[in-house]
Amino acid sequence: MTAVDAPTDLGEPERAAAPATPDTEAEQSTGWPLRLSLLGLFTISFNSTRIAGWAISDLLFVLAAFVIVLKIVAGESRDLAPAASRRSPRMVLVGTLVLLTGGTISSLLAPAPASSMLVMARFAWLTIVWFWILRSVCRSRGDLFRMVAAWRNGLIVSSIAALLGSIGVPMFATDYNYGRQAAFTFHPGELMNFLLPGLQVAIAVALVLPASPRSTRTARWSFAVAGMLSYALFTTGSTSGLVATGGGLVGMVWVAVAARMLARPTADGRRQRRRSRSPLTIMVGVLMILLGVSLLYNSNLPIRERLDLLREGDAGLESSVASRERANEDILNDLDHYLLIGLGPNLQLGATGASRPEQLMVTIQGDLHNGVHNMWLKMVYEEGIPALVGLWLILGAVTRAAYRLVLRTRGTDLHPLAIGLFGGFVAVNVSSMFGPVAFSRHFWLPIALIGCLWEVRRRELRSEPPAPARSVGSPADRPVQ
C-alpha cells in the first residue's frame, strides 16, 4: 500500500486538498431547520431573556428539532444532512451514556431527586438532542460557515451591549461590583465563557486564512471582531477569562505548528504549501495587539481594577479565592463519600437541609451551599466518578477529532476554523477548571461545532476524485530507509 492509499484519520484515503466547491442547489437553499438553528445560534448568548422560563435559543432549537422530525417522518429530508452524518460518534455516545447513567443513579438517591433529574435532562438535551440538531442541519461547509457567522454576530451584539454598559448607558449597565458587565447573561462570568471560543475563532480566521483579496477583507473584519470580543471580555472583569484566553492561544499556536510540521506530501511528493500573508499585514496585526495591550494597561476597565486589587491583596477578592480553594480541597479530601454515587446534580445543601458530613459543606455568610468552582470536582461531588469518566471519554474523543481536523483541512478554507475551534475547545476547558459549567451551552458549543466540521470534512473527502497515480520511482514511493 502506497502513501496515497493509506487510510487517513478521517477514515478516507489521503488526497491533495481540493479547492472549495460550490454547494449544490439543494444545499444553497436554507430550509426551516437551518433557519431556526441559525436564529438559535445567534441568540445563544442572550441567556437572561426568557419566555416562560425558557431561553429564547432553547425554544428555537426545540422548534428546529420538531421540524426535523416532521421532515424525516414525511421523507422530505433533502435539506438535511445525510442520515449517517446525523449520528453521534461512537466514543462520544459511549461517554454520554456513561455520564447520564452515573448522574441518573445519583439523582434518584439525592435528597432532591426531582431537581437533580432536571439537571440530567439538561445534560441529555445538550449532548444528544442538541448535537443531533446541529449535525442534521449542517449539510456542507457553506452551512457550517453560516452557523459560525450567526454565532459570531450574536456575540458581536452581546459585546456592543457590554461596551454600552461599561460607559454607563442605563439600559445596558449592570450592578455587579467593580463595574463588571454581563450583557444579556445572568453573570459576568457567564458572558466571559460565551465570548471565549468566539474570540479564538476570530483570531484564527484573522491570522491563518490564505492570502487573497477576499480573505484579506475577511481577515480585517476578523481582526475587528477579535478586538470587539476582547474588549467585552475585559469588561467582565474575569481573571480566569484571561487565563483561559491564554490557554486557548497556546493551544492554537501548538496545533498550527504541528499541522505545518506534519503536513503530508501531495501526489507529486511535495508538501502542501499555502500563500503566505504579506509581512505588512502581519506587522499591522502585531501593532494592533500591542496597541490593545497598551490601552488595557492604561484603562479603567473592570479587569484592570481587579488585577490591581488582587496584586494589592484586596480582602474581598482573597476571601473569594480562599473559599473556592477550601471547597475544592474538601472534595478531594472526601472522595470516599462519592466514589460511585454523588450527592445529586446541582444540589444546594442549604436549600434542601440535607444532612451531610460537615467537611462537605462550604459556609459563606452563614449559608450552606456547594461552592465548587471546578467542573471536574463538581461532577465527582454531585454525580460520582463514573459520570466524570463519561465526561473524560467525551473530551478525549473530541480532542482527538479536533486535532485530526487541523491536520486534514490544510489547504482549505476550513483550516482556520479548525484551528479556531481547537483553541476554543482548549479555552473552555481551561475556564471549566475555575467554574461549575458542565451543563452550560457555552461549554458544549465548540464541541458541537467540531462535530459538525468533522462530518462536513469527512463527506468532502469521500466525494473527492481519486488522486492520480504516481510514477514508479517517485520520491513518495521509494522505500523508507
- Long-range contacts (CB closer than 8 Å, 24 or more residues apart) made by 56-60: 57/441, 60/36
Residue 320, Cβ neighbours under 10 Å: how many? Answer: 14
Contact call for residues 134 and 449 (beta carbons, < 8 A):
yes
For the chain, 481 residues long, the average pLDDT of each consecutive 10-residue run is 36 40 53 92 90 89 94 87 87 93 88 84 92 93 93 93 82 73 86 91 82 66 86 84 88 85 53 51 60 59 62 59 70 73 63 38 39 80 88 94 91 89 94 80 93 92 64 41 39
At residue 3, the pLDDT reads 35
Contacts of residue 163, Cβ cutoff 8 Å, sequence gap at least 6: 228, 231, 232, 235
At residue 368, the pLDDT reads 38
At residue 8, the pLDDT reads 36
How far is C-alpha 128 from the geometric centre of its chain's CA atoms? 16
Torsion, CA 70, CA 141, CA 39, CA 78, rounded to 10: -20
pTM: 0.81
Cα separation of 179 and 307, whole Å? 14
Contact call for residues 417 and 200 (beta carbons, < 8 A):
no
Contact call for residues 429 and 395 (beta carbons, < 8 A):
yes
Structural domain boundaries in the chain: 88-139+154-262+278-464
Cα separation of 441 and 469, whole Å? 47
Q: Which residues of 418-443 are buried (b: 16+ CB within 10 A; e: fewer)?
A: bbbbbbbbbbbbbbbbbbbbbbbbbb
At residue 97, the pLDDT reads 94
Place of cell 471536574: 376
